[in-house]
């Protein structure tokens, strides 16, 4: 009986050893370690990573690392999570922002200065023109999009009031 239990124990030990070896062969090895994160500009990061066991340090952006499957599979799951979060931060940021407002007496409208953060270009337009540009509005912070929507609504309201006033004056003068 003791010989049977020792042979079963040996078999279980051998089985566990085979399982661990198979697991090592199928799971990718961690070859790279994230060592430093630098924010170069707003939401633009430079990552420094090291080849484990070597003194060589490489620099790259989170987006470039994520596009290379051969590299990303050799980071630890914690490092992959950090790299992914940094890449997503940039993707989820507005691409256009309001940098200034002014009132045009000649147009009788509020003008917005909108900066394209990717191209570094500033355009000045009335709210009514900006509000019809769906892509521009979608790439703004909700507060900025709301401000443009409100200004557009106020422009339409003023225009309608002015039209109603003119119609009333015409109606009163014809009577």
Q: Name residue, tokens 């399982």.
A: 19
Q: Give the per-residue pLDDT at 62.
A: 92
Distances (CA, A) of 144 to 57, 88, 119, 123, 132: 41, 21, 19, 15, 14
For residues 158-169, give the mean pLDDT.
89
Collapsing DSSP to helix, strand or coil, 160 comes out as helix
Confidence of residue 28 (pLDDT cuts 50, 70, 90): low
What's the predicted TM-score (pTM) here? 0.58
Confidence of residue 144 (pLDDT cuts 50, 70, 90): very high
pLDDT averaged over every residue in the chain: 87
Confidence of residue 169 (pLDDT cuts 50, 70, 90): confident
Q: Give the per-residue pLDDT at 13.
A: 84
* Structural tokens at position 172: 């009163």
Kind and range of the H or E run holding 38: strand 32-41
Neighbours of 144 (CB within 10 A): 20
Q: Give the per-residue pLDDT at 1.
A: 53
Neighbours of 65 (CB within 10 A): 22
* Structural tokens at position 59: 């620099």
pLDDT tens digits along 41-75: 777 899 999 988 888 889 999 999 999 888 888 89
**Burial letters 92-129, b for 16+ CB under 10 A, else e:** eeeebbbeeeeeeeeeebbbbebbeeeeeeeeebbbbe
Q: Is residue 31 exposed (0-12), middle (13-18) or buried (19+ Cβ within 10 Å)?
A: middle
Q: Give the per-residue pLDDT at 151.
A: 92
């Amino acid at each position: 009986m003791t010989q049977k239990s020792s042979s079963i124990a040996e078999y279980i030990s051998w089985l566990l050893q085979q399982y661990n070896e198979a697991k090592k062969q199928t799971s990718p090895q961690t070859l790279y370690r994230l060592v430093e994160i630098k924010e170069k500009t707003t939401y633009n990061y430079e990552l420094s990573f090291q080849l484990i066991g070597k003194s060589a340090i490489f620099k790259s952006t989170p987006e470039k690392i994520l596009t290379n499957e051969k590299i990303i599979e050799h980071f630890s799951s914690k490092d992959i999570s950090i790299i992914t979060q940094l890449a997503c931060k940039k993707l989820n940021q507005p691409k256009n922002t309001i940098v200034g407002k002014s009132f045009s007496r000649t147009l009788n409208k509020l003008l917005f200065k909108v900066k394209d953060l990717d191209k570094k270009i500033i355009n000045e337009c009335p709210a009514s023109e900006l509000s019809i540009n769906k892509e521009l509005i979608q790439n703004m912070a909700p507060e900025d999009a709301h401000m443009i929507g409100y200004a557009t609504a106020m422009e339409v309201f003023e225009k309608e009031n002015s039209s109603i006033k003119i119609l009333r004056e015409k109606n009163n003068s014809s009577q």
